[in-house]
């Protein structure tokens, strides 16, 4: 009597930590957007561009969580199959992210508690940092030490918007943007500490990944506050409703928490 062999499953050492971290980061992102919705700061009546962006980004969270679950359960074959989707999904993430940044900064000037030049330029830089690290992680998929650590840092670069929705941003003016971004570095810091305590050293993927992450942020802030950064921002918002608000962060008249 013919039988169908079950797929071979090989437990992967150390997968538990990466699974926990991925779920923690996804939870922060989901919690931030859910809180905004619950408090009426956003609604399903938003323009189509916001829905497209949300669907693509939530789809990425689903894919990332599926990947850590498949590798933790030893289903390497399915993990590799799903990984092929990421080659298409990462560019889609960058395109959707860039689209919504432009729609937001041109349509309303961006969140009032962020300077427009920070929101436009540093936000774009963070998106590119995610793309570079995620694609590098995919290219390094045969080297699991590099692959999973680079992907963890890439994912941490996406937590800023979630954290920004959980933190009291208006109370953090004029440092709301750097605080929100810096808070996302906590995940990389935790991973580095765990690596050092578990292995007695820190894997070079973390030094490269966090170096690119933090370095990209610092470089983007220098550009944002340079004459070129201001010129780029003014050119992007010229002739749009976004140009009607101050360039710097501000509290709208009558605003209350």
Q: What is the pLDDT of residues 205-223, one digit of tens each?
A: 999 999 999 999 999 999 9
pLDDT of residue 253: 86
pLDDT of residue 203: 96
Contact call for residues 242 and 107 (beta carbons, < 8 A): yes
Phi, psi of 66 (to 5 degrees): -60, -35
**Cα 186-187-188 angle, rounded to 5 deg:** 90
pLDDT of residue 2: 43
To 10 degrees, what angle do helices 144-156 and 204-224 make? Answer: 30
pLDDT of residue 11: 55
Q: Which residues contact 241 (CB under 8 A, 6 or more apart)?
A: 106, 107, 108, 109
pLDDT of residue 18: 95
pLDDT of residue 117: 98
Distance, in Å, from the CA atom of 1 to the CA atom of 22, rounded to the nearest integer, reads 43
Contact call for residues 116 and 126 (beta carbons, < 8 A): no
pLDDT of residue 257: 67
Which residues, given as ranges, of the chain have pLDDT below 70? 1-13, 41-45, 257
Distance, in Å, from the CA atom of 111 to the CA atom of 127, rounded to the nearest integer, reads 17
pLDDT of residue 3: 45
Contact call for residues 180 and 163 (beta carbons, < 8 A): yes
**Helix boundaries (H) for 73-203:** 76-107, 116-117, 123-139, 144-156, 160-166, 176-199
């Amino acid at each position: 009597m013919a039988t169908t062999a079950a797929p071979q499953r090989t437990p992967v050492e150390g997968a538990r930590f990466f699974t926990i971290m991925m779920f923690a980061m996804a939870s922060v992102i989901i919690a931030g957007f859910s809180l905004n919705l619950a408090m009426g700061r956003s609604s399903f009546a938003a323009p189509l561009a916001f829905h497209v962006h949300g669907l693509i980004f939530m789809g990425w969270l689903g894919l990332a969580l599926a990947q850590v679950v498949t590798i933790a359960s030893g289903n390497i074959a399915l993990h590799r199959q799903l990984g092929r989707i990421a080659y298409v999904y990462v560019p889609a993430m960058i395109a959707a992210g860039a689209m919504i940044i432009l729609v937001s900064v041109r349509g309303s000037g961006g969140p009032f508690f962020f300077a427009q030049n920070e929101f436009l330029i540093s936000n774009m830089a963070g998106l590119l940092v995610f793309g570079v690290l995620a694609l590098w992680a995919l290219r390094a998929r045969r080297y699991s030490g590099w692959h999973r650590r680079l992907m963890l840092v890439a994912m941490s670069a996406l937590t800023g918007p979630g954290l920004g929705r959980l933190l009291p941003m208006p109370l953090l003016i004029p440092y709301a943007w750097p605080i929100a971004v810096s808070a996302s570095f906590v995940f990389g810091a935790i991973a580095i500490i765990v690596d050092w305590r578990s292995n007695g050293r820190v894997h070079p993927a973390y030094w490269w990944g966090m170096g690119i992450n933090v370095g990209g942020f610092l470089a983007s802030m220098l550009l944002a506050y340079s004459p070129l950064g201001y010129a780029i921002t003014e050119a992007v918002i010229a002739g749009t409703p976004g140009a009607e608000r101050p360039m710097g962060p501000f509290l709208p008249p009558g605003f209350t928490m």
